[in-house]
Amino acid sequence: MTRDDVDYILETSQTETGGLKHNEIKEYGYYRTKAWILNQCDHMVAADIAALPYASAITTASSNRPCYPVRTRQAMRDTPKADPWLG
């Protein structure tokens, strides 16, 4: 999925008068969630180009550490494609 794909999804999953986008623009003056997500996309691409592991900026509320383990690209290639959320 490209950055443009993510941008398109974020833009087209809104209603004309409501939804996250409009609420955030009203409250913050810009679509804050979109800006944050696209920023993280940029960080993932930069890590990929540098052949470094990407560390998620998402943290758990109780521990302030990444929700997902940091994995190298090779580890991701070697890991079976099972969806961890489905068990």
Indicate whether 14 belongs to any domain: yes
Indicate whether 53 belongs to any domain: yes
Distance, CA of 49 to CA of 11 (rounded, Å): 27
- To the nearest whole percent, how much of the chain has pLDDT over 70? 67
For the whole prediction, is pTM greater than 0.85?
A: no
What is the per-residue pLDDT across 19-48, written as a single tens digit (0 to 9) for each?
A: 888 888 888 899 999 999 999 889 889 988
One-letter amino acid for residue 81 of the chain: K
Range of the domain at 43: 3-78
Residue 66 has a pLDDT of 54
Domain tally for the chain? Answer: 1
pLDDT at 59 exceeding the cut of 80: no
Indicate whether 57 belongs to any domain: yes
Indicate whether 70 belongs to any domain: yes
Distance, CA of 54 to CA of 36 (rounded, Å): 15
